[in-house]
Amino acid sequence: MSVDAATVRRIAHLARIAVKDEEVPHLQGELNAILAFVEQLSEVDVGGVEPMTSVTPMVMKKRHDVVNDGEIADVVVANAPATEDHYFLVPKVVE
Amino acid sequence: MNAPVQPSMLIKGATGDWEVVIGLEIHAQVTSKSKLFSGASTEFGGDPNAHVSLVDAAMPGMLPVINEECVAQAVRTGLGLKAQINLRSVFDRKNYFYPDLPQGYQISQYKSPIVGEGTVVVDLPDQDSFTVGIERLHLEQDAGKLLHDQHPTMTFVDLNRSGVALMEIVSKPDMRSADQARAYVTKLRTILRYLGTCDGDMEKGSLRADVNVSVRRPGAPFGTRCEIKNVNSIRFMGQAIDYEARRQIGILEDGGVIEQETRQFDAVKGETRAMRSKEEAHDYRYFPDPDLLPLELTQAYVDALKAHLPELPDEKKARFIRDFALKSEDAGVLVSERESADFYEAVLGQLADKARDGKLAANWVINELFGRLNKEGGAIATSPVSATQLAAIVDLIGDGTISGKIAKDLFEIVWTEGGDPRAVVETRGMKQVTDLGAIEKVVDDIIAANPDKAEQAKAKPAMVGWFIGQVMKSSGGKANPQTVNDLLKTKLGL
């Protein structure tokens, strides 16, 4: 498996990372090197083995349905670059 | 469901008939006090970003902890949909970039949802009931709210709704008309409200639908579908489906091809339009959320929830028909809203003889009470006539104290003035006269005063109706009609 220049640009866009055109060939090489490294795993036969997504031998902890958080709008927006009346302000996302 | 569709449901095109195929993804807000993964309130409204914890705002280092009640609500809903409950399900990250989603991903369930396949039986007036298959139900987080009209260049972000639990209920493509789709959503909403797992308030956004529409020649393979996003009323959904089906038929009949795309419904113009093209299509890059362990349930836990499920509309309807011989349609009206069924049951609970008068009570609840409430735009919760009062009126009819006609006057008095129906009947002398002697005297007087009519009645027995009318009028409607009828027949020699 390998990625082409277009895929590199697409991945960068999905991650909202600005990548200059001259950086693309270098990143393409890096990504392909990583993929080649991971590809070694395909040598292992995993037929019939269920994918393991967690190695923690415990059941998931759950919360009771009680309201014990929130009502801290000052804190929530404290680090936002722009706010008004406790709203976050972001550049307009519709025309 | 791939049975031949009724011809009446087909849409006529210029080149022949078309069948519309509809599948729905319903987003139902879970009824809970706090959010799916945080302790912030789920209350509607509130000041901007008031019901927001640092988890909901996706501050670095915050970890989600699942709300056990939201899990229980999803399982209850699955049981109510007669669905498979998966004892092991997994939360995944659905990645996309938008200001209403501070995490940059929505925690959802992709490959392993908490609920699998189920069914909903839907009734349509004047048609046979039909079954809609449920594909799956999964738990996920709601997003925040964006306000675009507050500022010329900025969008305002309120995360109060961010992280509130949603159930996404995905149907199979089993509906064949806008009417069927509307009836399905109405039924699903009723089930959720009976279960108490979602309030179904579409105005507050508690229930939203993504509508998948495609068209095909009857019996042909499925066509390419378009998805209409975020339709927030049952009426708009019907309009959107009709418009979209026509649009697709127009393209196909002109020799064109349907592009799979996401569209939105413009309620003002009554049309759907493309939201984003294929090139900008989302690439969600789902993967299991490393912050959350798999959700594992025991069969005993599921069984305990099942043992405490309330009676659902289909069962309630069957019971009303079985125990009180109600017509299917009447039973359907009573169970269609939980409040209606609760009111009827409250009336039943106070009847002196519910086996005898259960059906009569249903007629009074539906025709007199609901009829009047509809006319005056009132709700059951604010009905001027209580279940206790209505039960008393039905008792009075049932035990022969008053006639059905007088009962309508009594209902009117109780509606406008209130009071205990039994006391009203006493103080206003509304009791039905069953005293044979008293009625006989009235009958004799009327016959004596109308000898010509009495003579005519011998030749034309239908004339007895006129006499009954006269006697009832003369007695102020209080004479027992059956007694009057019997007496007249004897006296007139019929």
- Contact of B281 with chain A, judged by CB distance below 8 Å, is answered with no
Interface touch B34/A65, C-beta < 8 Å? yes
pTM of the model: 0.86
Interface touch A93/B98, C-beta < 8 Å? yes
Structural fold of domain B436-492: Arc Repressor Mutant, subunit A (1.10.10)
In a domain, A69, yes or no: no
Portions of chain B given CATH number 1.10.10.410: 436-492
Range B45-71 average pLDDT: 97
The pLDDT tens digits of the residues spanning B398-449 come to 988 888 888 999 999 999 999 999 999 888 888 877 677 778 888 888 888 8
The pLDDT tens digits of the residues spanning B373-396 come to 999 888 898 899 999 999 999 999
Identify the pLDDT of residue A3: 92
Interface touch B50/A70, C-beta < 8 Å? yes
The pLDDT tens digits of the residues spanning B310-365 come to 999 999 999 999 999 999 999 999 999 999 999 999 999 999 998 999 999 999 99
In a domain, A93, yes or no: no
Q: Which residues of B touch A57 (CB under 8 A)?
A: none
- Contact of A18 with chain B, judged by CB distance below 8 Å, is answered with no
Interface touch B39/A56, C-beta < 8 Å? no
Range of the domain at A23: 5-42
Identify the pLDDT of residue B3: 64
In a domain, A88, yes or no: no
DSSP percent split of chain B into helix, strand, coil, nearest 5: 45, 20, 35
Interface touch B50/A86, C-beta < 8 Å? yes
- Whether the Cβ atoms of residue B184 and residue B120 lie closer than 8 Å to each other: yes
Interface touch B154/A75, C-beta < 8 Å? no
Residues A64, A58: Cα–Cα separation, whole Å: 18
Q: Which of B347, B310, B301 is nearest to B197 (CA)?
A: B310
Q: 């006319």: which residue's tokens?
A: B375
ipTM: 0.89
- Contact of B71 with chain A, judged by CB distance below 8 Å, is answered with yes
Interface touch A88/B153, C-beta < 8 Å? no
In a domain, A37, yes or no: yes
- Contact of A52 with chain B, judged by CB distance below 8 Å, is answered with no
Give chain B's mean pLDDT.
92
Q: Number of folded domains in chain A? A: 1
- Contact of A43 with chain B, judged by CB distance below 8 Å, is answered with no
Kindly report the CA angle at B493 between B491 and B494, in degrees rounded to 5? 115
Identify the pLDDT of residue B48: 98
The pLDDT tens digits of the residues spanning B143-161 come to 999 999 999 999 999 999 9
Q: Which residue of B44, B52, B54 is the best one to mutate when testing the A interface, meaning the one whose CB has the most A CBs within 10 A?
A: B52
The pLDDT tens digits of the residues spanning B153-202 come to 999 999 999 999 999 999 999 999 999 999 999 999 999 999 999 999 99
Residues 6+ apart with CB under 8 A from B66: A60, A61, A62, A63, B36, B37, B292, B295
Nearest to A88 among B66, B71, B157 (CB): B157
Range B470-487 average pLDDT: 80
Query: Sorting pLDDT into bands at 50, 70 and 90, what band is B483?
Result: confident
